[in-house]
Chains A and B, each alone.
Chain A
């Protein structure tokens, strides 16, 4: 395990662990952290996992570690690694089981003051309309043909079926559709798990949160995003559900033999990988894109149900109940992008696991309104603390493969969290603070207690002071729905 002395401080918020630390490292590891966050990260195995990740063949630059890092399966959550095309590797475990787990933000012109008396009813309606929890079925059962169409079209499928507005698609990363999806790469088991689950929130750390815009730091950007002080906004955090899990599990299993075939030695079996241009690598990319597109469509259908819930509860009480899309981002994904590495522009596959793409101003894939600003980045906190809206920067392009943090970052295991707080007590405490809670399981609620997470404000402070994101607005929760 590395310790603090092994790191060289490059700047107040950046630390490097050089290749000399371990002989099998192909690239260095760079950690974005202040001293306290670095010391906390050394308390679990996340930085050792980053060192393991640095052994993947074909990596370029450095493995990036975000301040919200915590240990994952094989690859740390809050990690970014880029492998060079054509024969660098792709590793399903470095993308995560919940492929395209991500966050969507909806803004509104609804003043908190006008909605406050109805927040209890609103969270109840959201809980009733957005299926959540273990094994819950969605409201949009799909035939096999439908699932294949969702896999190919992503959020575009939802638009064609009345679950989206055109602006939703425009304001979604990759317009809600990753190229290269091939449903022929899906197993019957993946199809069977995916068909009943469109429009479901899931369990674990997934949530829908009604927020109020608490503080604005960049007026121009907030205006472009339609974020108004003391007005409501909604965050949706979900992913590709059992469909993505099945795809990741199958490829982690299949790649066990592929790694041997390509003579790739790995320190952790969960890091198994295959060259991007191998049949195995190409098959995974095509299946991963299917799961990613399912996840974009899933959050889109959930957004439709959120709008329906707002209509049901608030239509007679506020003058404009419409929720507009601010943006939708993924934080578990492998993407082919062009980056400047050691003075050379090159095509790489950027693995982001618990990290958000954060492209700066002028990036051609951005909607027109955001083109001069940069890409919106959505950083949810834990349910009792703030969430943040940030912007990608030129600094992120230069330092972190156009990436930044994705959340607060867990610092306590679920088991420890459950031992530290009872779900019912936590619910009462949050309700006393004006946060309405609807949860399927009190034990599940305790696992996600704010005390189990790092201070999201400190995480955001690091990424903004390091220059890999810029602050736009801080959100404060007033209603939370958990599976």
Chain B
């Protein structure tokens, strides 16, 4: 689950065309609980969007541990310029987290 959350964060920031910060960042601990893994995925990505919009930071390093309904760890966050593309919300629409032999796969729809 931690790998899925990490990959989803990287994917979302790539879609937003966020420039990779050059400066070093500050550490923010993270501790989240959710109803299920789909809700956890939405909550995690929404948290990153919120930090980007209000503090103008993105994670440059992630050290996460996660289960189906919990997430703990820490992020190193660094300041970045405004993204080129807006993602306004992470939706539950057609949201899926599926298990395969190789691991987990998620489908997400963003409101842009």
Contacts and interface: CB of A to CB of B under 8 A. Distances in A.
Interface stretch (B1-9, B57-65, B71-79, B88-96): B88-96
Interface in B79-102: 82-86, 88-95
Contacts of A249: 46, 89-90
B13 to A, nearest CB: 14
A40 to B, nearest CB: 21
Given A189-B50, A193-B50, A193-B53, A134 B86 contact: yes
A253 interface: yes
A204 B90 contact: no
A272 B88 contact: no
Contacts, number: 71
A46 B61 CA distance: 40
Contact of A272 (B83, B90, B92): B92
A73 B90 contact: no
B39 A253 contact: yes
B86 A203 contact: yes
Contacts of A414: 112
A245 interface: yes
A135 B92 contact: no
A73 B39 contact: no
Nearest to B109: A73
A27 B23 CA distance: 57
Nearest to B93: A73
A203 B85 CA distance: 9
Contacts of B111: 73, 97, 245
Interface in A41-94: 72-74, 93
Nearest to A135: B82
A38 B74 CA distance: 51
A155 interface: no
B54 A256 contact: no
A415 to B, nearest CB: 10
B95 A269 contact: yes
A443 B54 CA distance: 24
A248 interface: yes
Contacts of B43: 253
Interface of A: prevailing SS:
helix
Interface residues of A, number: 29
Given A256-B35, A257-B35, A73 B91 contact: yes
Contact of A97 (B42, B50, B56, B89): B89
Q: Is the interface of B mostly helix, strand, loop or mixed?
A: loop
B54 A204 contact: no
Nearest to A268: B93
Contact of A256 (B39, B84, B85, B90): B39
A204 B35 contact: no
Interface in A231-266: 242, 245-246, 248-249, 252-253, 256-257
Contact of B88 (A93, A97, A192, A252): A97
Interface centre among A97, A257, A269, A414 (most CB of B within 10 A): A269
Interface string A120-143: 000000000000001100000000
A135 B83 contact: yes
A270 interface: yes
A193 B83 CA distance: 16
Interface string A174-207: 0000000000000001001100000000011000
Contacts of B112: 204, 414
A242 B50 CA distance: 9
B93 A74 contact: yes
Contacts of A97: 88-89, 91, 111
B85 to A, nearest CB: 7
A253 B42 contact: yes
B68 interface: no
A203 B42 CA distance: 22
User: Which 4 pairs across A and B sit closest by C-beta, in order of nearness?
Assistant: A73-B93, A269-B92, A134-B86, A270-B93
Given A93-B93, A135-B56, 14 more contacts: A73-B91, A73-B111, A98-B88, A134-B82, A134-B84, A189-B50, A193-B54, A246-B50, A248-B89, A253-B42, A253-B46, A257-B35, A269-B92, A272-B92
12 contacts: A72-B93, A73-B109, A93-B93, A97-B89, A249-B46, A249-B89, A252-B92, A253-B46, A256-B35, A268-B94, A414-B112, A443-B85
Interface of B: 35, 38-39, 42-43, 46, 50, 53-54, 56, 82-86, 88-95, 109, 111-112
Interface of A: 72-74, 93, 97-98, 134-135, 189, 192-193, 203-204, 242, 245-246, 248-249, 252-253, 256-257, 268-270, 272, 414, 441, 443
